[in-house]
Structure 1
C-alpha cells in the first residue's frame, strides 16, 4: 500500500511542475512578437504580448508558492529560504506588472504607433524595473530557490547548478545602469541584453525545473526483510 505522505508529495510535485511549465511557456511565448515589426509595433501586437506575459507571471507566482511549500515539507529548517524565494518572486511579479502597465498605457493613449519601452513620458520610469532592479531580484530568487532545491534534492542537482549559474549571469547586468539608455546596445540600462536576453534565462530555468518536477523521482530500493532464525533446541 502506497504511503499517503509519498502520494501527497508526488501530487504536489505534479502541480508544481504544471504551474512552472505554464509560467515558462506563457512568458517565453511573446518573445517572437517583439521581432515581427521593424519599427513601432501596432497596439494589437503590444497588448497581446502584455496579456500573455501577465498570464505567465500569474502562473510564476503560483509556481513559487507551490515550490515554497514543497521545500518546507521536505526540510522545515529551510522554510525561510523557501519564503525568500517566494517573496522575491512576488516582488519580481510586481515589477513586471507595473512596467507592463506603463507600457500598455502608453500604447493605448498614443494616437500614432510608438515603442512604449522608449517613447513617451512614462518610458524612462520602467528602464531600471526592466533592467538592473529586475536582474537583482531575479538573482535573489534563483539563488534562494537553487539553494533550497540543492539541499532538499527535490530536483536533480544539475537543475540547481543551472539556477546558480543564471543568477550570476543576471548579477553581471546590474552595473548596466552606468552605460546609458540606448535600447539598441547590448549592455546599457535599457539595452536588450539587460532587459530581454538575461531575463529570458530565468524562465528557461523555470521550464527545466518544471520538467524535473513532472518526472517521477526514483524510489529508493526497499530494505531486505530481516531473516528470522529458527530457535535452537538443545
Structure 2
C-alpha cells in the first residue's frame, strides 16, 4: 500500500464512520423520558456500522503512518491497536444493551442499564479513546501527515477523554452530565469524536499529499 492509497483509505473509512456517528447521536436526545425499543435498537444498529468503520479507520491509519515515516511506524501500530480495542469494547456493550432490549417488551428506563455496560461505555471507553487519540495526535506531530495544529487538537481531545475517567464514582443516571453513563460521558464525548473524525477524514481526502512543513 502506497502513501496516496493509505491516505484515501483512511479518509474514506473515517468519513463513513463520522457520518454514521453523526446520525446516531441525535437519537439519544429525541425522548426526554424512557425511549421506545425501536429508538434504542435503531441507534445501536447505526452505532454498530459506525464502529466497524472506526475499526477500519484505525487499521488504515496504522498503514498511513508507516508509509509516511517508517521511523514512527510504532506509533501507528499503537493507534492501530487502541482504536480496534475501543471499537470492540463498545461493540460488546452495544450487544449487551441490544440483548436486554430485545428480551424486554417494555421501553428502556433511562435510569437502568445492563450490568457493566455503563462502565464499558464510560470509563473504559474513555480510556481507550484517550489512548487512540493520543497516539493519533503524536503520529500527526511526528510525521506531518496533517498540519501541526491538528496534532495538538487531537492530543487535547485525548486529555479531555481522560478527564471523564473518574465519572464512574458519580452514579449511573444518564440524565446527569458526569455520571458513569451520563450524557456528557457518553453522548457528548461521542459527538465530539464524530466531528473530529469528520474533520480529520476530510483533511486527508482534500490533500492527497502530506502538507509541507
Q: What TM-score comes out, normalization by structure 2 length? A: 0.92
Any unmatched runs of 5+ in structure 1? Answer: 221-234
Q: CA deviation at 1:218?
A: 7.2
Change (3 A) 1:218 1:183: closer
Question: Which runs of structure 2 are paired with 1:138-177 in the superposition (5 Å)?
Answer: 138-177=129-168
Q: Is the 8 A contact 2:66 2:76 kept in 1?
A: yes
Match of 1:105 in 2: 99
Alignment RMSD, CA only?
A: 1.8
Higher relative contact order (CA 8 A, sep 6+): 2
Report the alpha carbon displacement of residue 12 of structure 1 after superposing the two structures with TM.
2.5
**How much has 1:118 moved relative to structure 2?**
4.1
Q: Is the 8 A contact 1:17 1:209 kept in 2?
A: yes
Residue of structure 2 in register with 1:90 after alignment: 84
1:182 Cα deviation from its structure 2 partner: 2.3
* Cα separation, 2, equivalents of 1:31 and 1:180: 22
Once the two structures are TM-superposed, the CA of residue 205 in structure 1 deviates from its matched residue by 1.4
Kept after mapping to 1: 8 A contact 2:54/2:83: yes
**Could you tell me which residue of structure 2 aligns to residue 76 of structure 1?**
70
* 1:118-154 Cα deviation digits (max 9, x unpaired): 436xx13101111111111111001101101111111
Which of 129, 145, 149 is the equivalent residue of 2:120?
Answer: 129
Match of 1:16 in 2: 10
Change (3 A) 1:126 1:72: same
8 Å contact kept, 2:146–2:211 = no
After superposition, give the CA deviation of every residue in 1:63-83 in whole Å (9 maximum; x if it has no partner): 111111010112112121111
Matched, 1:43 2:30: no
Of the two, which has the highest radius of gyration?
1
Instruction: Note if 1:212 corresponds to 2:203.
Output: yes
Q: TM-score, normalised by structure 1?
A: 0.84
> What displacement does 1:203 show?
2.4
